[in-house]
């Protein structure tokens, strides 16, 4: 299984580039363990290279750093999206988790 994300700044109407993102996985003891970290590219995209097993995952987006770099103060200094791949039919495939972002709101969905 692989994971990717894409961040769109819905206020600026453009991709959110240079956003640090961390992928973590919950282990059998309930602790979150780092899998991989990266930064979104100029198109707001990040594809993690790590092949990951089915389970519970978190994507943590450093939105505070992104907004500060653009002279803004956001309400959410970070966005954490927790998702599970355990019960999904395509757990051996690819999971895309987009983030639509503004200084005072965000939304997400399972992408394709």
Domain count, the chain: 1
CATH number at residue 77: 2.60.40.180
- Domain assignment present for residue 107? The answer is no
Backbone angles phi, psi at 63, to 5 degrees: -70, -30
- Domain assignment present for residue 51? The answer is yes
* Mean pLDDT calculated for residue range 31-44: 97
Q: Coil, strand, or helix at residue 14?
A: strand
* Mean pLDDT calculated for residue range 47-52: 92
Which residue, among 43, 9, 44, 46, has the nearest Cα to 35 in the 3D structure? 46
What domain range includes position 74? Answer: 2-102
The least confident of 2-6, 16-20, 69-73, 89-93 is: 89-93
- Domain assignment present for residue 12? The answer is yes
- Domain assignment present for residue 110? The answer is no
* Mean pLDDT calculated for residue range 26-32: 95
- Domain assignment present for residue 8? The answer is yes
pTM of the predicted protein model: 0.92
Query: Sheet containing 79-84: which strands, arranged edge to edge?
Result: 32-39, 20-26, 56-61, 79-84
- Domain assignment present for residue 62? The answer is yes
- Domain assignment present for residue 16? The answer is yes
């Amino acid at each position: 299984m692989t994971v990717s994300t894409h961040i769109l700044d819905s206020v600026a109407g453009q991709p959110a580039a240079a956003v640090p993102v961390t992928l973590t996985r919950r282990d059998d003891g309930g602790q979150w363990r780092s899998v991989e970290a990266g930064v979104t590219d100029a198109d707001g995209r990040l594809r993690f290279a790590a092949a990951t097993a089915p389970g519970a995952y978190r994507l943590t987006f450093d939105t505070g750093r992104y907004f500060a770099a653009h002279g803004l103060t956001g309400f959410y200094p970070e966005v954490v999206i927790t998702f599970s791949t355990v019960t999904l039919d395509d757990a051996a495939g690819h999971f895309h988790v987009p983030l639509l972002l503004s200084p005072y709101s965000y939304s997400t969905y399972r992408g394709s």
